[in-house]
Amino acid sequence: MSTKTLAHQLAEYATSLNFEDLSQDVVHEVKRRVIDSFGCAIGAWNEEPCTIARTVASDFSAKDGSTIIGTTHKAPPDWAAFANGCCIRYFDYNDTYLSKEPAHPSDNLAAVFAVAESVGATGEEAITAAAIAYEVQCRLCDAASIRARGWDHPTYGVFSTALASAKLMKLDPERTRHAINIAGVNCAAFRQARVGELSHWKGVAFANAARHGVYAALLARAGMTGPAPIFEGQMGFEKELGVSLGDVASVFDKKKEAMPGKGPASMILKTSIKYWPSEYHSQSAIEAALFLRKDIGDPARVKSVRIESHDASVDIIGSEPEKWKPETRETADHSLPYITSIALIDGEVTDKQFQPERFMDPKIWKFLENVTVQRNAELSAIYAQAVANIVHVTLADGRELTKRVDYPLGNAMNPLSDKQLEGKFNALVVPALGETRAKKVVDFAWKLDEAKTVAELMASLVMK
């Protein structure tokens, strides 16, 4: 076991990894996540918290600034990371990684592209920084659960975004280590953001972590030092959050492959893309419900619904009373009973199903009175390799229909094709930008490794 601190290991890993070290599979997957994430961002651009963040960030300008998505305004890169991160995340439609701690690793891309634009980084450099961010956040999620102790997953995100930012700024290992230290000393986010009646903050908490990660790297670049050892110290991360990261430092080596034969920084290949705009644990329930709806026909024939799910799903989206009477979008898209029911009733799950007039419809709430959620030990045992739900529908004539889905479409074990990914992107972006401009964004992303800068991509997203 290495005697170096984890911050030293992370700094050495990030500064030593180069584009040439990445496999073509990793490079291609980063491009896919860029398409997916910017599609989510344009889709959510007009949502209230995204508008609020954009309004606040637009009050600030910077000489070497970063474009706020949908505008021509250049803000300081930390503020741009926040505003853009709100858009990427808010629809709960961007990618996911499930382990001891869940995460949405494409949240990191707001920081990556904000810093990349501000320093004039190439497409290759942006891809490398993105792969590093995915690797670091997902490895930390493998090391320890923090939500079980009352902390939120963006807590890990300050480290991944600080490292990606430092990489793009071409900081040396020592300044990179201080970026980690500065980011970590003020990183703890409360899990209260994701329990009870949910607020705007559920969808913007990681954007705030990204802002902080970029800010930490900016300070370290200027020479600011941070407290150490930030992870192992007497009052450091492990002690204060009550977790042990174990020997996680040992995996931050270019010889360690998350996916055998796929080279370093290949954790991205173990993450999943969402096909429906809702919390990831509901994706297999949606697929099961849509399958059953074909046999049900008229939803009025449904007498009751029983959903069997795994512990993580029940704990996060299937146990609190608010989930049966959602009063905010954030609660609705984190409600297993509502999401499953609306798939059965409407035969689709899109942004329309998360509008107040739909999720607060008294008829929907009445339907939810006959929906139950149960824990299933078998499904819990195979989590998070599988993210399974079993949906049972009892009809008025006494018949019961059942469907189980373990790997929903978009899961790492059942990935979307590039064509399906572009279809998701177009559904989100074409209404706002039109077909010609949407195609331009996709074409640029597929050739990101050839780009001299990322400025053209950001300029192509201006809303008109």
- Residue 137's pLDDT is 98
Query: Does the pLDDT value for residue 105 go beyond 80?
Result: yes
Q: Based on the fold, state whether residues 22 and 130 are members of the same structural domain.
A: yes
Is residue 394 included in any domain, yes or no?
Answer: yes
Asked if 132 and 228 sit in the same domain, the reply is yes
Range of the domain at 335: 280-405
Q: Which helix (H) or strand (E) holds 389?
A: strand 389-395
224 with 314, same domain: the answer is no
| Residue 460: pLDDT band with limits 50, 70, 90 | very high
Q: Would the pLDDT of 167 be above 80?
A: yes
Which string of DSSP letters, residue by residue, matches 213-262?
A: HHHHHHHHHTT----S-TTTSTTSHHHHHT---TTGGGG-STT--SSTTS
Same domain (yes/no): 265, 373: no
Cα distance between residue 22 and residue 2, in whole Å: 24
Residue 426 lies in a domain: no
Residues 268 and 284 in one domain: no
pLDDT at 310: 97
Give the pLDDT confidence of 392-427 residue by residue, as tens digits. 999 999 999 999 999 999 999 999 999 999 999 999
Distance set, CA 209 to CA 79, 285, 310 (Å):
11, 30, 29
- 84 and 226 fall within a common domain: yes
Residues 371 and 313 in one domain: yes
Residue 411 lies in a domain: no
The residue among 359, 385, 405 that closes a domain is 405
CATH label of the domain that carries residue 316: 3.30.1330.120
Summarised one tens digit per residue, pLDDT across range 51-87 is: 999 999 999 999 999 999 999 999 999 999 999 999 9
Residue 345, phi-psi category: left (phi > 0), alpha (psi -120 to 50), beta (remainder): alpha
Is 107 domain-assigned? yes
The two tokens of residue 250 are: 């040992």
Residue 110, both tokens = 């707001």
Strands 389-395 and 371-375: unpaired
Closest to 105 (Cα-Cα) out of 70, 144, 132: 132
Residue pair 159/140 in contact by the 8 Å Cβ criterion: yes
Please report whether residue 431 resides in a domain.
no
Query: Dihedral of the CA atoms 104, 109, 114, 119 (nearest 10)?
Result: 140
User: Is there a single domain that holds both residue 163 and residue 251?
Assistant: yes
| Residue 389 within any structural domain of the chain | yes
CA-CA distance, 49 to 401, in Å (whole number)?
40
pLDDT above 50 for 283 = yes
Query: What does the pLDDT look like over 346-372, one tens digit per residue?
Result: 999 998 999 999 999 999 999 999 999
> By C-alpha distance, which of 185, 188, 268 is closest to 219?
185
Residue 433 lies in a domain: no
Residues 200 and 169 in one domain: yes
229-241 average pLDDT score: 95
Cβ pair 355, 366 in contact under 8 A: no
CATH of the domain at 106: 1.10.4100.10
Q: Could you tell me if 309 and 388 lie in one domain?
A: yes
pLDDT single digits (tens) 27-56:
999 999 999 999 999 999 999 999 999 999
Q: Burial code of 367-393, b = ≥16 C-beta within 10 A, e = fewer?
A: bbeebebeebeebeeebbebbbbbbbb
Total number of domains in the chain: 2
Is residue 62 in a domain?
yes
Nearest to 158 by CA among 102, 205, 97: 205
Band (335; pLDDT cuts 50, 70, 90)? very high
Q: What is the pLDDT of residue 1?
A: 42
Q: Which pLDDT score, from 0 to 100, does residue 71 have? A: 97
Quote the pLDDT of residue 319: 94
Residues 231 and 376 in one domain: no
Report residue 188's pLDDT band, with 50, 70 and 90 as the boundaries.
confident
Q: Are residues 193 and 304 in the same domain?
A: no
Confidence grade of residue 197 (pLDDT, cut at 50, 70, 90): confident
Residue 382 has a pLDDT of: 96
SS3 content of the chain, % helix, strand, coil (to 5): 55, 10, 35
Residue 125 has pLDDT above 80, yes or no: yes
